[in-house]
Amino acid sequence: MNSKGPGQIWEAALGELQLQVNRASFNTFLKGTKGVHLTHEVFTIHVEKAFAAEWLEKRMRPLIEKTIAGILQQQVEVRFKVGTEESLPEPAATELTSPNIKEPIAAPQPSNRWGKLNPNFNFDNFVVGSSNRLAHAAAYAVADNPGKSFNPLYIYSAPGLGKTHLLHAIGHAVTAKGLNALYVSMEQYVNDYVTSIREHAPAAFRDKYRNVDVLLIDDIQFLSGKDSTQEQFFHTFNHLHNESRQIVLTCDRAPTSITFLQLEDRLVSRFQGGLTADIQRPDIETRLAILHNKAKKLGCSVNEDLLVIMAKPSSKNIRELEGTLNKVVAISQLTKRPINLDLISEVMASDHSQPQQNINPGAIIDAVARYFTLDKLDLSGSSRVKELVSARHIAMYLIRQETNKSLSEIGQLLGNRNANTISHGLQKIEELMKSDQGFRRTVLEIRDLSSSKRSLSA
């Protein structure tokens, strides 16, 4: 049996878990873990930090065991091994004797390492469709002639639609030209800045971020509310821009929709000073092309009709589409089952084993507050600040659309407001949804955010 069996099985499991838990929990507790040992009944996972192992044991062990059991088609007990990687024994060979268990397909690593480019994210394997054509063309133009046009390039979309892929593709293209590119998340930028202050090393921080030809920053929304970091980033941005160095940023919303992110106006104006490009959810043709591309990459042949079935759910983003195909192929390889309608139906049914009910009003209020960086109490308060009133109206609209609450019940949820007030707010949002595509996109993003609060079962 292949000695890398436990590692490959855990990679496949991580690919599924990434779709089931929120990003912060995945990055904090699952990223960097490794499958190190598998016997008849026990699957051992290496975790570097004791607190992470304790959290996984208390909060996620049932989900992890269910995920691994789905891949192996066999129940196992999960155990967490704490320690440095050097202290662990070499990964043991898989000791399962079931005739169904063969070498699994290795799933792609679930997260990018800070500052490194993912070799799988390049322009050659980015599937272009009507939903992302502008963003792709802009990214390609920037890679071809960095710093000369579209500077900065600001790409935004809901999660899982290809923003990060384009960032890495630009990085690969300009690196091939001999240029110095740096890819980081804004979260890492903030961490680096805090470290530079703590270690009294501002020069090293400036050298890292200002001596580059192309700066690629993912998830700019994490700059929210961090005043001193915003000040530093403003100067970094200006330095690079004045030197005609290329800057590419991604965000989960348009610049015009980040009023509540507590970003300085001067930063927002700079984000809008280049080219802004959005990515929408892919249409059926693009989803099908993505699955064709992924199947080819996995080295497997899947009937066209079966790919169409997997591509049909319009709610799936690219990451979820690829996750479904990964799971189908992994189970087929592990159990020697053919890839047929029965297997695909089984996988797709398990992906929806927790059917979504009407969105809870509390989840909507939480999502609105998180999106606009507000306290939930602000939404039920009496403030008449324009931006806050708009957020409150969005909450009214989504509760009305996604639940069976009456106008009076919605009023009670949002500060005991009367039905006439709620009706007036709904009318304003409906008018804006029809006339302002950017505003409509914001409301739909918040709806998606509120419906994703099922991410952690514990």
CATH number for the domain spanning 383: value is: 1.10.1750.10
Whether 255 and 381 share a structural domain: no
> Above pLDDT 90, what percent of the chain?
18
> Above pLDDT 70, what percent of the chain?
84
**pLDDT over 80 at 414, yes or no:** yes
Whether 271 and 299 share a structural domain: no
Mean pLDDT of all residues belonging to the chain = 80
Q: What is the pLDDT of residue 431?
A: 84
DSSP structural state of residue 47: E
For 412, the token pair is: 């009670």
Q: Is residue 94 part of a domain?
A: no
Whether 297 and 239 share a structural domain: no
Q: Residues 324-363: pLDDT tens digits? A: 888 888 888 888 888 888 888 888 877 654 444 457 888 8
The sign of the dihedral angle between the CA atoms of 95, 99, 100, 103 is: positive
Q: Is residue 139 part of a domain?
A: yes
Q: Residues 258-276: pLDDT tens digits? A: 554 556 677 777 787 888 8
46: Cβ–Cβ under 8 A, 6 or more apart, which residues?
Answer: 33, 34, 35, 36, 81, 83, 85, 88
**Cis peptide preceding 110, ω within 30 of 0:** no
**pLDDT over 50 at 100, yes or no:** no
For 157, the token pair is: 């979309």
* Greater model confidence, 450 or 451: 450
Q: Residues 17-59: pLDDT tens digits? A: 877 777 767 777 888 899 988 887 889 999 987 777 878 887 8
Q: Is residue 107 part of a domain?
A: no
Q: Is residue 101 part of a domain?
A: no
Whether 172 and 307 share a structural domain: no
Whether 151 and 195 share a structural domain: yes
Domain boundary residue among 278, 304, 322? 278
Put residue 178 in one of left, alpha, beta given phi > 0 → left and psi -120 to 50 → alpha: left
Whether 245 and 297 share a structural domain: no
* Greater model confidence, 253 or 429: 429
Whether 322 and 425 share a structural domain: no
Q: Is residue 108 part of a domain?
A: no
User: Which helix (H) or strand (E) is 35 found in, with range?
Assistant: strand 34-38
Rounded CA separation 142/165 (Å): 14
Domain containing 336: what range? 284-351
Whether 185 and 56 share a structural domain: no
Q: What is the pLDDT of residue 94?
A: 40
Q: Residues 119-141: pLDDT tens digits? A: 888 898 898 888 888 999 999 99
Rounded CA separation 209/331 (Å): 44
* The residue type at 360: N
Q: Is residue 327 part of a domain?
A: yes
429 closest CA partner among 402, 392, 386: 392
Q: Are 111 and 31 in contact (CB under 8 A)?
A: yes
CATH number for the domain spanning 17: value is: 3.30.300.180
Domain boundary residue among 223, 257, 278? 278
Q: pTM for this structure? A: 0.55
Q: What is the pLDDT of residue 115?
A: 54
Q: Residues 163-206: pLDDT tens digits? A: 999 999 999 999 998 999 999 988 888 888 888 888 888 899 98
The mean per-residue pLDDT over the stretch 199-223 comes to: 89
131 closest CA partner among 160, 110, 108: 160
Number of independent structural domains in the chain = 4
Q: What is the pLDDT of residue 450?
A: 77
Among 298-302, 316-320, 380-384, the least confident range: 316-320
Q: Is residue 111 part of a domain?
A: no
Q: Looking at beta carbons, which pairs linking 137-143 to residues 24 or more positions away fall under 8 Å?
A: 138/275, 138/277, 139/166, 139/169, 139/170, 139/248, 140/173, 142/170, 142/246, 142/248, 143/169, 143/170, 143/173, 143/174
Q: Is residue 11 part of a domain?
A: yes
Q: What is the pLDDT of residue 174?
A: 93
Whether 385 and 309 share a structural domain: no
Among 8-22, 132-146, 403-417, 419-433, the least confident range: 8-22
Q: What is the pLDDT of residue 212?
A: 93
Whether 442 and 370 share a structural domain: yes
Domain boundary residue among 294, 317, 351? 351
Whether 270 and 290 share a structural domain: no
Whether 326 and 424 share a structural domain: no
Among 52-56, 130-134, 387-391, 426-430, the least confident range: 52-56
Q: What is the pLDDT of residue 87?
A: 42
N-term to C-term CA, the chain? 35
CATH number for the domain spanning 332: value is: 1.10.8
